[in-house]
Structure 1
Amino acid sequence: EGSDEPKQQSEQTITISDSFDSGVSADEIQSELYEQEVSADQAAVIAQTAISQEALLPNSTVFIPQTATRKSIADVIKQSKNLLIYGIITLFLIAVYIGYAQYFKTRFYLGTTINGISISGLSLQDANTKLNDALQNYSLTIIERSNSGEQIKAQDISLAYNSLDDLNTYLSSQSGYGWLGAIFSKNSKKTIVMSYDAEQLNQQIGNLSFLKPENIIKPGNPSFNYVNGSYVIVQEVTGNEVDQDTLYKAIADNICIMNTKLDLQQADCYTKPAYTANSQKTIDTQNLLNTYAAVQITYIIGTEQIIIDASQICSWMSVDNDLNIVFNKNKIQNFVNNLEKISSAVTYTRNFKTTAGSIVQITGGNYGRYMSFAKENDFITNTIKSGVSATRDFNEIGSTYVEISLTKQHIWFYKNGTLVVEGSIVTGNVMNHKATPKGVYYLRSKTRNTTLVGPDYEADVSYWMPFNRGIGLHDATWRSYFGGSIYKTNGSHGCVNLPYNVAKKIYNNISVGTPVVVY
């Protein structure tokens, strides 16, 4: 309680019930005040003030600042006004929502388009009219890679809108109360398929200038140029050739939904080269070409050296549509023919190491004078493909050959440096001037079971291997003895007579083209 002096008018008093004991809480005071018909806001202020003034004894008088009470009343009035405003706004919005719901029962939602044409808020008949008006002015512009464009117009292909059925279906599917959600929906873009005269469309497509043969540039794969010692990639040709099946479908699809532009590039209508400059196959082919061009092949014929280098190899190579390297056999054959001309004019004198270990000089024979195109073509192309330079010496006999000693009347056959067979022989009759000629020859062919016919003889043989025109190796089963000096008086007509087993062994292991050395 305060003093007996009068309270200022700015304060309001209220007596706390004597039913409270000391230490009463603010919530209990606030409950008491509710029964005295004090507002909730005022009760809260009074209770807190009582606690702060420690007016907790029974029949205590609490002084309430008038400003606090006024503030509480103002808050209540403000809240009441806000609730009223909110209520009015809510009722207004509900009325608007219901009004539009009724409106959109017979009209298309906002944002609705048909074939790209807006029919927002239109009735069925108005939408139909707008679509038909748009149809009269419709044309499809075809944009080419060069950015030039050509048009196909609706009237040129009898383009028509089929019926109201689709429009009616779309409108019927609307719920009037769904108009608000439709504003944010992605399903507002509708499509109605149009009809057209296919024959007229084909004719219009056929008239497009970029389909004229004189205007078409076909696509092309990258190519390769040999420049300053290496191959460089030449960019592919994109061209402007259009795949007509793809083009027709793209045009028809766009017309049916009344799109106004068709970009041929974006629609993937152009034919493409199989490979580009950046394709891995292109890069691999470039590397392979450079590897091949770096190879050098040296032919040694007599005292001459003929070198095959990049200048010739590059002229022999081309690249096909799959970027595979192809060798021109005709050009290689011309080169081999020139080699053969050079070789045939050379008189060869070769130093040959015999089986006995002595060195003999051998002149004559056809080995090196005649070349097998198939064999040389294989050697040249395989050497180039190996990427390793090589030398082919026609003066050398190699490690696979037949060795015939006339004086010893003996034969040896070596294959890859290994002796396959040897034996005694009988060569041409010296007395009758039919001695087997000396020289280095090559095996011309192989034949089984044939008859050798001469001016005054016929002889059946099982293994025939000619190396110098009609002179060759063969079995001679009519002879009982070989070797010694038989050849001087009872020799052959020039051939090399062999025991059957020796002839068989040589035949089964020798290849056509093998050198035959006679000394």
Structure 2
Amino acid sequence: MRGFETDFFQDKKKKIIIISLVVLLVVVSFYSFKSIQYADRLLPKTKVNSINVGGLTINQANKKIKTKFSEAPFAIRLDNTSWRNIKRSDLGWQKDHVKELAGIKQQQNPFAWGLHFFTGSQHQLSSTYDQAQVDQLVEGLGMEILQKNTTRIPTKNATIEWKKDNFVIVPEKQGTTIDVAAAQKALRKNLENGKNSLNAENYYAQPILTKKDSGLRKRKAEMNQLAKLEAVYTISGKQVKISTDELRNWLTINEQKEISLNQDEVTAYLTKLNEEYNTKNNPTQFSSTRRGNVAVPVGIYSWSIDIPAEVKALSAQILEGQNFSRVPLVESDVPNVQTNIGNTYVEVDLQNQYMWYYKDGKVNFETDIVSGKPSTPTPPGINYVTSKSTDQVLRGLNDDGSKYASPVRYWMPIDKTGVGIHDSDWQYAYGGDLWLYRGSHGCINTPPAKMDELYPMLEVGTPVLVF
């Protein structure tokens, strides 16, 4: 009985072994058969540009890709609606991928088809389009986005603004405008990579500067310092302070976190300053020796602020961050003109018929004079000694039209009309009201002995105030 049982189990064991071998043989045969099949086909779950070409020959795969690419539409969405649906063939797509597919096939092991069935593989092939047509599509999208952006909320960078009594950082704000360049770049990339769509809404313009930017915080501190500078103009003998309100209105910052000054605002300020103080249009307030403060009319010693040059110079000095006092850059026909008369000048008081020469604030010379008679009065104004010469003959016309010729030893013209300072040996006295009936043709008649003193000490370019 025991022998019978032993034989039974041995037979059963043999059958199991035989069946297992048969199954293994079938599996190996099937796997080998499939491996032979995949010798000229792409392995299962092989995807090219998201298209499943597993199990296909190279030519079959190429045909499938070409069909999918050429006929499948490429959708572009804008404002959450369809803007364009385009066939790739309409863009001149015509790439043949046989060579690239052969390269993929060469890298695959046919006997690995089983493992590949579970892992799969992804491949990206380049696509060839008519570049002119693609460029036209990309440009059209850009123009359409620009048009749409006009009604959208713009994205704002974090910036620095004045609030109450100092500069603060105003946080960035995400808008709904679309970044044209980013959308256009994505369109080209999606076409190239075989994707089927582009949603322009995914490319909102992003803020470049945020409130957490360390450079922005640093610039805020710098701008607060600049707004509190002591900035003063010395002009026409006055001190003109640039207020904190002016400074903070001028200060600005760009996307590169560079502090600058609003050139239009600075120009407007200097234009106003020039209108008030320039001496080409405005009389000059002058503290005279005998008559107190007087307004001296415009003469040839005049200037106006060189606004473009001063805008640049003032902006640069403010950005240096140091307190300063400056004289504006000016333009004038007068060499080395100054914005104020200073302490060295000639004062001609027509009312008192008297002349002084101040050198460094002290009287170096003074004398009675005879100015122009009522019919040819000496013109008031701020002028200057334009030249010096000796032994000249002054020529002109008398009131009756006759000519005169008056030799003088010293001649110093002060304007462009022929008026000057000179000796006059024909005058028997000076000062008082002699000018009413023995006055000159407009020149400042000076005693000869006094001219001997004045001529050597008076330099060309010295301002002459006549009033």
Question: TM-score band, normalised by the shorter chain?
Answer: 0.5 to 0.7
Change (3 A) 1:98 1:431: closer
What letter corresponds to residue 149 of structure 2 in structure 1? I
1:362 corresponds to: 292
Change (3 A) 1:390 1:199: closer
1:105 aligns with 2:46: no
CA deviation string 1:286-308 (max 9, x = no partner): 84477347657699999x99976
Q: 2:457 aligns with which of 502, 505, 519?
A: 502
What is the alpha-carbon distance in structure 2 between the residues aligned to residue 501 and residue 276 of structure 1?
70
Q: 1:429 aligns with which of 364, 370, 374?
A: 370
Q: 1:374 aligns with which of 295, 302, 305?
A: 305
Q: Normalising by structure 2, report the TM-score.
A: 0.55
SS at match of 1:214: helix
CA deviation string 1:7-26 (max 9, x = no partner): xxxxxxxxxxxxxxxxxxxx
1:190 aligns with 2:123: yes
Q: Normalising by structure 1, report the TM-score.
A: 0.50
What is the alpha-carbon distance in structure 1 between the residues aligned to residue 90 and residue 232 of structure 2?
68
Change (3 A) 1:271 1:282: farther
Write the mapping of 1:75-474 to structure 2, written as runs, cut at 5 A: 98=32, 101-124=35-58, 126-128=60-62, 130-132=64-66, 134-135=68-69, 138-142=72-76, 150-154=83-87, 156-157=90-91, 159-160=93-94, 162=96, 164-177=98-111, 188-198=121-131, 200-202=133-135, 204-205=137-138, 208=141, 211=144, 213-217=146-150, 225-232=161-168, 235=172, 239-243=177-181, 250-262=186-198, 278=213, 280=215, 284=219, 287-288=222-223, 291-292=226-227, 309-311=243-245, 324-325=260-261, 326=263, 327-338=265-276, 362-366=292-296, 372-374=303-305, 378=310, 382=314, 385=318, 388=323, 400-402=343-345, 411-414=357-360, 428-429=369-370, 442-443=382-383, 446=386, 455=397, 456=404, 466=414
Is the contact made by 2:286 and 2:296 (CA closer than 8 Å) also made in structure 1?
no
Is the contact made by 2:38 and 2:110 (CA closer than 8 Å) also made in structure 1?
yes
Is the contact made by 1:449 and 1:460 (CA closer than 8 Å) also made in structure 2?
no
Change (3 A) 1:162 1:401: same
Is the contact made by 1:317 and 1:328 (CA closer than 8 Å) also made in structure 2?
no
What letter corresponds to residue 502 of structure 1 in structure 2? M
What is the alpha-carbon distance in structure 2 between the residues aligned to residue 495 and residue 195 of structure 1?
96
The alpha-carbon deviation at position 105 of structure 1 amounts to 0.8
What letter corresponds to residue 101 of structure 2 in structure 1? L
Identical pairs, percent: 14
1:67 corresponds to: none
Is the contact made by 1:427 and 1:495 (CA closer than 8 Å) also made in structure 2?
no
The alpha-carbon deviation at position 258 of structure 1 amounts to 0.9
What is the alpha-carbon distance in structure 2 between the residues aligned to residue 274 and residue 465 of structure 1?
65
The alpha-carbon deviation at position 211 of structure 1 amounts to 1.9
Q: Which has the larger radius of gyration?
A: 1
Change (3 A) 1:382 1:164: closer
CA deviation string 1:391-415 (max 9, x = no partner): 99xxx9786433669999874433x
Is the contact made by 2:49 and 2:125 (CA closer than 8 Å) also made in structure 1?
yes
What is the alpha-carbon distance in structure 2 between the residues aligned to residue 288 and residue 461 of structure 1?
63
What letter corresponds to residue 413 of structure 1 in structure 2? K
Is the contact made by 1:336 and 1:371 (CA closer than 8 Å) also made in structure 2?
no
Change (3 A) 1:380 1:101: closer
What letter corresponds to residue 284 of structure 1 in structure 2? R
What is the alpha-carbon distance in structure 2 between the residues aligned to residue 308 and residue 131 of structure 1?
72
Change (3 A) 1:132 1:425: same
What is the alpha-carbon distance in structure 2 between the residues aligned to residue 282 and residue 205 of structure 1?
39
The alpha-carbon deviation at position 259 of structure 1 amounts to 1.7
The alpha-carbon deviation at position 117 of structure 1 amounts to 1.8
Change (3 A) 1:300 1:189: closer
Is the contact made by 1:402 and 1:412 (CA closer than 8 Å) also made in structure 2?
yes
1:66 corresponds to: none
The alpha-carbon deviation at position 178 of structure 1 amounts to 5.7
CA deviation string 1:62-109 (max 9, x = no partner): xxxxxxxxxxxxxxxxxxxxxx9xx989x8797787555423212212
SS at match of 1:324: strand
CA deviation string 1:110-164 (max 9, x = no partner): 44221122323333355345435533663444566x7777554326535455364
What letter corresponds to residue 157 of structure 1 in structure 2? L
SS at match of 1:104: helix
What is the alpha-carbon distance in structure 1 between the residues aligned to residue 167 and residue 37 of structure 2?
75
Is the contact made by 2:284 and 2:297 (CA closer than 8 Å) also made in structure 1?
no
Is the contact made by 1:98 and 1:177 (CA closer than 8 Å) also made in structure 2?
yes
Change (3 A) 1:125 1:517: closer
The alpha-carbon deviation at position 312 of structure 1 amounts to 5.4
CA deviation string 1:341-398 (max 9, x = no partner): 9x97998656x7xxxxxxx773435289998440799599849937648799xxx978
2:333 corresponds to: none
Q: Which moved more, 1:106-115 or 1:290-299?
A: 290-299
Change (3 A) 1:429 1:207: closer
The total of aligned residue pairs comes to 394
What is the alpha-carbon distance in structure 1 between the residues aligned to residue 312 and residue 96 of structure 2?
72
Change (3 A) 1:275 1:487: farther
Change (3 A) 1:301 1:255: closer
Change (3 A) 1:444 1:411: closer
SS at match of 1:105: helix
Name stretches of at least 5 consecutive residues in structure 2 with no aligned partner.
1-16, 328-338, 398-403
The alpha-carbon deviation at position 228 of structure 1 amounts to 2.0
What is the alpha-carbon distance in structure 2 between the residues aligned to residue 314 and residue 443 of structure 1?
39
- CA-atom RMSD, angstroms? 6.5
Higher RCO structure, 1 or 2 (CA under 8 Å, sep 6+): 2
Is the contact made by 1:285 and 1:323 (CA closer than 8 Å) also made in structure 2?
no
CA deviation string 1:414-465 (max 9, x = no partner): 3xx8x9xx9667773379899x99x9x8556856889987655688999967
Change (3 A) 1:290 1:106: same
The alpha-carbon deviation at position 319 of structure 1 amounts to 7.3
Is the contact made by 2:286 and 2:294 (CA closer than 8 Å) also made in structure 1?
yes
Is the contact made by 2:43 and 2:117 (CA closer than 8 Å) also made in structure 1?
yes
Change (3 A) 1:313 1:118: same
